[in-house]
């Protein structure tokens, strides 16, 4: 039987690792300031941090629910929110990969 806490922990750790890698890979990236404020890389970093935090909150609520220290509705809500966030991150990742492949197919 698959332990749900291990799979959640694995997913959270994977996205935390991706966030650290994104921080490293975007450190040297800069864009021209067009007067609107933040950069796209900052937006991506913020979204990844928020997704990782939602995953951590879902994991903590799940563990508290397993230990019978949290109400069931709170656990279900946190897990559903974490699942939706994960689906969104995966969908965005798929679109980025698809866009990259289209760029590679462009004639030079």
Residue 31 banded pLDDT, cuts 50, 70, 90: very low
Say yes or no to pLDDT of 29 above 60: no
Mean pLDDT, range 43-70, rounded to an integer: 90
Q: What's the mean pLDDT in 7-25?
A: 67
14 band by pLDDT with thresholds 50, 70 and 90: confident
Which is more confidently placed, 47 or 18? 47
Q: What is the pTM of this model?
A: 0.58
Q: Which of 12, 87, 93 is nearest to 53 (CA)?
A: 12
């Amino acid at each position: 039987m698959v332990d749900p806490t291990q799979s959640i922990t694995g997913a959270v750790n994977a996205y935390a690792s991706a966030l650290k890698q994104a921080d490293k890979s975007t450190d040297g990236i800069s864009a021209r300031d067009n007067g609107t404020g933040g950069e796209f890389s900052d937006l991506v970093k913020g979204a990844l941090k928020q997704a990782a935090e939602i995953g951590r909150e879902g994991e903590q609520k799940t563990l508290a629910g397993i230990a019978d220290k949290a109400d069931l509705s709170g656990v279900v809500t946190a897990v559903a929110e974490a699942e939706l966030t994960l689906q969104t991150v995966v969908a965005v990742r798929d679109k980025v990969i698809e866009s990259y492949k289209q760029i590679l197919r462009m004639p030079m």
